[in-house]
Structure 1
Amino acid sequence: MRLLALVRYLVADVARGQRFLPPVLLLLAVLAMLYAGDAGEAPQSYIGSSALLYPVSVWLAVVVAGTEDPVRHAVTTTAAGWARTRVGVALAALVWACGAAVVGTLAPVLTQPRPYPPPVVLTGLAANLVCAVAGVGVGLLCARPVLVRAGWTAVAALALTVAAYPLGVTPPVGAVLGALGGRVELGPALGWSAVIASGLVVAATLAAWVIGSRRG
């Protein structure tokens, strides 16, 4: 099975099963509350969406990683191989998370009376994407095959999600929120955070590949 076909299959499987609905509905509901009134000056107005996209993307990654039942997952790994399957899962999770980031970026543009020039929108998109990618990395670390029990997945995902917020301007999530709030320089914060968030996804994918292949 080719990688692109595998990613399309996984994205479509999540859509068919409608397991994406809880995190997506949470995203839409909180965005509606965030931008129901004056969200303030941009890019500070993107702080809320960036902070929200991190846990939503954790949830989406867990959903994608667990979308197949054990029998179908065994067929997929036999057809595609363990390494390609784990890469496909990571890419499918990124597709969902990046789609959520686009929604979070457009929400204030469509609802706020303040002007949002293209450079500001691009800054918001970059911030949202970094937090979304970081969420995918954490979600993959908490999902099958790294953690196979739903209870442990929920506990680990919640703990790692909550732990990101009290760390100040520590990248990736804290640095992005700090940069949007003017506490640190925007460009370097987004750059380093993007590198670290991408590294999280790569590390989580490797961990899933190694652990999953050993378990068979």
Structure 2
Amino acid sequence: MISLVRYLAADVFRGQRFLAPLLVFLGVMGMLFSSDAGQPLEAYSGSAALLYPVTAWMAVVVATSEDVVRREITVVSAGGWSRVLTAAALVAVAIALAMALVAAVWPVVTNPHPYTAGQFFVGLGAHTVCALLGVGVGLMFARPVFDSIGRTVLAVFSVVVLTYPLGRATPLGWVLDALGHNQVSLSVLWAGVVGVALVAAAVVVGVRRT
């Protein structure tokens, strides 16, 4: 499994399609924290909201890094779709967690308000949850669930856009509400459970679609 993860990760970075979501992430982060973003946890709400769609986009990049023919060869060589999809999920999650760490550290360095260790770890946890939710959404509609990249993009875009106006009716809303009110909430933990379950469900659904 480790060699498969390394192969898929190398393929993603070799293809360079990851640069688009990464540059959007870095560019918007730069704008968000170019001036005083507010109190520590409140400041994190903007970057957490950004991380959700960007990690969904990144997950689609990971899931579709190979063309159809190459992916079939990889499936045969790896011993089945379940191993390939699990490895792809691990790559997407690893990239998302790295982005969550960057998002949590960024305002600590640039925001004039001092951050305590506790606030930093709460922010890191919240960003991790949003990243997992994004990865789950991205993988849920990527290959092999949808073979067409157009359908994948439309489905992921629709879910992401609809998530925000639903507010606290969604796990993402639980996290953003807690950060926006500058408080720690147990709902963030439950949102994390949902995020992990969503990533696992995406792998299961993908396997059943093959």
Q: Who is 1:207 aligned against?
A: 205
| Letter aligned with residue 118 of structure 2 | P
Which residue of 53, 56, 73 corresponds with 2:54? 56
Instruction: String of CA shifts for 1:122-174, please: whole Å, max 9, x gaps.
Output: 01110000000000000001211111112111111110001111112134210
Match for residue 187 of structure 1? 185
Q: 1:39 aligned to 2:40?
A: no
Task: State percent identity of aligned pairs.
Answer: 46
Per-residue deviation, 1:46: 0.3
Per the TM alignment, residue 71 of structure 1 is displaced from its structure 2 partner at its CA by: 2.1
Is contact 1:171–1:192 with CA below 8 Å preserved after alignment?
no
| 1:71 to 2:76 alignment | no
Runs (4 or more) in structure 1 with deviation over 3 Å come to none
Output aligned runs, 1:1-216, within 5 Å.
3-80=1-78, 81-182=80-181, 186-212=184-210
Residues 54 and 132 in structure 1, CA contact (< 8 A), matched pair in contact too = yes
Whether contact under 8 Å (1:171, 1:196) holds in the other structure is: no
Offset, 1:101: 0.8
The Cα RMSD (Å) is 1.2
- For normalisation by structure 1, the TM-score amounts to 0.93
Which structure 2 residue ranges, 5 or more long, are not aligned?
A: none
Q: Deviations over 1:49-72 (max 9, x none)?
A: 100000001000000000011222
SS at match of 1:186: coil
Q: TM-score under structure 2 normalisation?
A: 0.96
Aligned partners of 1:71, 1:17: CA distance in 2, in Å?
Answer: 16
For these two proteins, the number of residue pairs brought into alignment is 209
Q: Secondary structure of 1:143's partner?
A: coil
Deviation of 1:13 after TM superposition, in Å, equals 1.1
Letter in 2 for 1:20: F
